[in-house]
Amino acid sequence: MEEKLKKIQQDYINKISSSKSLKDLDIIFIELFGKNGEVDQLSRQFKDLAKEDLKIVGSLFNLIKQELEKTISTKREEIKARVYKGLEDETFTFQHQVLEAKKRKGHLHPVTQFENEIVKLFNKLGFVQADAPQIDTDFNNFEVLNIPAEHPARDMWDTFYIDKSSNTQTTNHKLLLRTHTSNSQIRILKNNKPPIRMMTLGRCFRYENVDARHEHTFEQFEIVYVDKGVSMANLQFLSEYFFKSILGKDIKARLRPKYYPFVEPGVGIDATCVFCKGSGCKICGNIGWLELAGAGMIHPKVLEAGGINPKEYSGIAWGVGPERMAMLKYGIEDLRLLKSGDLNFLEKF
């Protein structure tokens, strides 16, 4: 009986130490201590033993039983610790995989892609980027551009004003969300000497009746070109260069008189309608042309405000809506889709 006990002890110590999972240990525990298990069967044989033998075997039996129970419980803790650490590793791997998947699928917003294309195009002609703030003074956005308070042109560019109590800047001028990138003009003129070839890109805001072609928050791209002898011919050339490069070689530019207080003369610039190629359709209102930009010769008063002598230099300024152009380039029927955050739409680009 003693030998049998010692064999069981040795066999099960080996089995326990080589087990790999909590499930393995559960099986071993049942084999040993379950109903009809090794311990149960041995104890049933005790009744056949002599009293002296029972004393020896009984205490050995208890010792071995306790040892096996303890070995199982130690092994159980060891396996648990390993599993938890493995789980941490697995969670890390999972998070890593999610990040990798995101990296693979992400791409630039279609308007950003389009704007990068425009910037590259004008870089080629020597234009460099200038910056202007989205929150600006009434002075930079309107007054210096020949649009004093109460000027009727302000009605076209109503915007959102910043509450005076939250104005932490040291200016007495009203602060507002800029209505156009033309707020860059005075900064460009003041900070640079002719010849000047600069461009500004960014977000603008208007108190707008939102519809398929108008957003309250939208992008503009603007160029300022000042040198001796700059004329409307340069404007015509740059407009056509721009439209042909972006929308196709068969697209022409047309200048139409339009009033902007900060240019003289001022023009609206139309491109041949990309949908009907000029023959007239529903989208262009049967005109064959679509207005894409506003532009003109920089007003002498604005040049002077920027410290440039209008008798020596002349300049053109030109502002376009990249989202309106993207609508034409990609055949998007509603401008609002671009800022909708709708992935079904955005993933098409």
- Interface residues toward ligand FA5, by CB under 6 A: 180, 182, 206, 208, 214-215, 218, 220, 222, 260, 263, 266, 291-296, 317-321, 323-324
| Residue 349 identity | F
Question: Is 128 known to be catalytic?
Answer: no
Give min distance, CB of 294 to ligand FA5, in A: 3
- Closer to ligand FA5 at the Cβ: 68 or 320? 320
Among candidate residues 224, 263, 295, 320, the one labeled active-site is 263
Q: Phi-psi bin for 192: left (phi > 0), alpha (psi -120 to 50), beta? A: beta
Q: Count the alpha carbons within 13 Å of 137 in the hemisphere toward its beta carbon.
A: 14
Among candidate residues 39, 185, 187, 206, the one labeled active-site is 206
Among candidate residues 130, 132, 180, 230, the one labeled active-site is 180
* Separation of alpha carbons 346 and 82, rounded Å: 44
Give min distance, CB of 223 to ligand FA5, in A: 8
Q: Count the alpha carbons within 13 Å of 67 in the hemisphere toward its beta carbon.
A: 16
- Closer to ligand FA5 at the Cβ: 71 or 185? 185
Give min distance, CB of 213 to ligand FA5, in A: 7
Structure tokens, 336: 């609002």
- Closer to ligand FA5 at the Cβ: 75 or 324? 324
Question: Is 317 known to be catalytic?
Answer: yes
* Separation of alpha carbons 154 and 43, rounded Å: 102
Question: Is 113 known to be catalytic?
Answer: no
* Separation of alpha carbons 331 and 294, rounded Å: 22
- Closer to ligand FA5 at the Cβ: 110 or 321? 321
Question: Is 157 known to be catalytic?
Answer: yes
Give min distance, CB of 165 to ligand FA5, in A: 28
| Residue 239 identity | S
For 345, counting Cβ atoms within 10 Å of its Cβ (0-12 exposed, 13-18 middle, 19+ buried), the class is middle
Question: Is 220 known to be catalytic?
Answer: yes
Question: Is 180 known to be catalytic?
Answer: yes
Catalytic residues: 157, 180, 206, 220, 263, 317
